[in-house]
Homo-oligomer: A and B are copies of this chain.
């Protein structure tokens, strides 16, 4: 394997794996510092993951929530990007193997985020729809629309219902927001698009293993989310776990079975670890154990930030929540600490500033918690929109998103219902379409 060509420099090289929230903040704060920053990512863009569910439910175009990484850093001369997949770290050689060749590093930062956790349920992994990347969100959008097209051709009520029903697994913010957006589709969009179908036959189910929704938040927020979802006719199943799914029927730990062609899996995530890290420092949820400086335990020049890192502290004995603000704050501090390392100055320990949490459930409704302040309803929804708009990278993306949101709000519409590349399910035999005589 050859080395990847990179500009020669006498400055130490910081290699960052991943252009998510953590990686971007770290690279930005290293601007004009005496280091060479090399970022690799399998995509040439940053994905604003909190809004992926809106891409999946036809509310936003993917281009509004994805932002070219090169564009973010176009005025940063010590920054170099390579589109590549990280394959293996070789710590003893200070080298990272990638899909395009070897990259030597002085400091390595693992900012790879998280992937969908199917908790070992192979059958579900093959059949369910995850929603952690732009392509996955687009596949889900296509499938939802394809199912409605196919429902017109169904030859039995059972088949038609399975095509129209949607089951969302996992009552965290992603699951709640997805179920809410589906509720809006059912209420405002699908009846007009499919006058030949009785959209009341469509059932939206949200399944959660715990006794309440939004378990990272307070009880009242979770209960309010249940209320909001019920207004959109979403069936919420608490204390219910999914056991099997064969692509047709969802089997739970209760007697209840739900026929559906679409199982959206938002029940959990796990760290996206790169090979080559000592297995002993990989903890719960596949996250890499780091010290208070985000240094991977047992390594002096390898760091991990964000979702993939588990910094076990007194306040956070299981590690910090896997959310954007943690990644952003860790990335910012690590930039400072790398500069300190170079200057032989003492490092600063990480202290998480909790910015609160929020989730929206369709138009005019959201739940927000910031410290002891809690609010639900219209004002929370307004806050949710403002925070998400501000957090989007790039003014064009903010503007296009705002236009789309205003458009959808006043028109009760979700305009991007396009099947650009039809979704084809893997590992399922194509069934022959048999239709009724007319």
A interface residues with partner B (beta carbon < 8 Å): 2-8, 43-45, 61-64, 66, 68, 70-71, 74, 77, 80, 82-83, 100-101, 134-135, 138, 145-146, 149, 152-153, 192-196, 394-397, 399-400, 403-404, 407, 413, 415-421, 433-438
Determine the chain B residues whose CB is within 8 A of the CB of A434 once the complex forms: 2
8 A–B contacts, CB within 8 A, in A order: A4-B153, A63-B415, A68-B193, A71-B193, A74-B193, A101-B435, A394-B415, A396-B415
- Cα separation A407 to B407 with both chains bound (whole Å): 19
Picked from B5, B62, B68, B149, the residue with its CB within 8 Å of the CB of A152 is B5
Known: A45-B419, A82-B152. 15 other contacts (CB 8 A): A3-B437, A5-B153, A44-B145, A62-B418, A63-B418, A68-B417, A71-B192, A71-B417, A77-B195, A101-B435, A396-B415, A399-B403, A400-B403, A400-B404, A421-B421
How many angstroms between the C-alpha atoms of A419 and B67 in the bound complex? 10
CB distance from A242 to the nearest CB of B (A): 29
Least distance between A418 CB and chain B CB atoms (Å): 5
- Are B396 and A438 closer than 8 Å at their CB atoms? no
In the complex, the answer to whether A396 meets B400 with C-beta atoms within 8 Å is: no
Partner of A420 from B66, B83, B417 at Cβ < 8 Å: B66
Q: A32: shortest Cβ distance to chain B, in Å?
A: 15
A435 touching B2 in the complex, CB below 8 Å, given contacts A192-B74, A419-B83: yes
* A350, B192: Cα distance in complex, Å: 35
- Are the CB atoms of B71 and A415 closer together than 8 Å? yes
Q: Please, how many angstroms separate the alpha-carbon atoms of A419 and B43 in the complex?
A: 7
User: Cβ of A438 and Cβ of B5 under 8 Å apart?
Assistant: yes
Q: A63-B63, A193-B68, A418-B63 are in contact. Are A149 and B44 (CB under 8 A)?
A: yes
Q: Are A5 and B421 in contact (CB under 8 A)?
A: no
CA A134 to CA B416, docked complex, whole Å: 14
CB distance from A335 to the nearest CB of B (A): 21
Q: State the 6 A-B residue pairs at the shortest beta-carbon distance, nearest first.
A: A2-B435, A61-B63, A70-B193, A74-B192, A83-B149, A45-B418
Q: Closest residue to A60 on the B side, CB-wise?
A: B63
Closest CB in chain B relative to A47 CB, distance in Å = 10
A172 to B103, alpha carbons, bound, how many Å?
A: 46
A138: nearest chain-B partner, CB-CB? B420
A361 smallest CB distance to B (angstroms): 23
- Chain B residues positioned under 8 Å from A394 (CB to CB): 415
Which residues of B have CB within 8 Å of A149?
Answer: 44, 82-83
Interchain CA distance A57-B159 in the complex, whole Å: 42
CB-based contact A7/B193 at 8 Å = no
Set of chain B residues within 8 Å of A7, measured between Cβ atoms = 196
Q: Roughly how many angstroms separate A418 CA and B67 CA in the complex, as a whole number?
A: 7
Bound CA span A238–B258, Å: 65
Instruction: Give every chain B residue within 8 A of A44 (Cβ-Cβ).
Output: 145, 149, 417-419
Q: A74-B193, A400-B403, A435-B100 are in contact. Are A420 and B82 (CB under 8 A)?
A: no
**For residue A397, which residue of chain B has the nearest CB?**
B415
Report B-chain residues with C-beta under 8 Å of the C-beta of A4. 153, 435, 438
Tell me how far the C-beta of A4 lies from the nearest C-beta in chain B, rounded to whole angstroms: 6
CB neighbours of A400 from chain B (8 A): 61, 400, 403-404
Measured CB to CB, the closest approach of chain B to A132, in angstroms, equals 14
| A206–chain B nearest beta-carbon distance, Å | 26
Report how far A424 CA is from B282 CA in the complex, Å: 35
Residue of B nearest to A66 (CB): B418
| Distance in Å: Cβ of A398 to nearest Cβ of chain B | 11
Task: Give A91 Cβ to nearest chain B Cβ, in Å.
Answer: 20
Complex alpha-carbon distance, A389 and B136, angstroms: 31
CB distance from A126 to the nearest CB of B (A): 21
Q: How far is the CA of A335 from the CA of B437 in the complex (A)?
A: 29
Q: Distance (Å) between the CB of A254 and the closest chain B CB?
A: 35
Whether B153 contacts A438 by the Cβ 8 Å rule is no
User: In the complex, A404 Cα to B194 Cα: how many Å?
Assistant: 31
The answer to whether A438 touches B152, judged by C-beta atoms less than 8 angstroms apart, is no
Bound CA–CA A173/B173 (angstroms): 48
Q: How far is the CA of A146 from the CA of B42 in the complex (A)?
A: 12
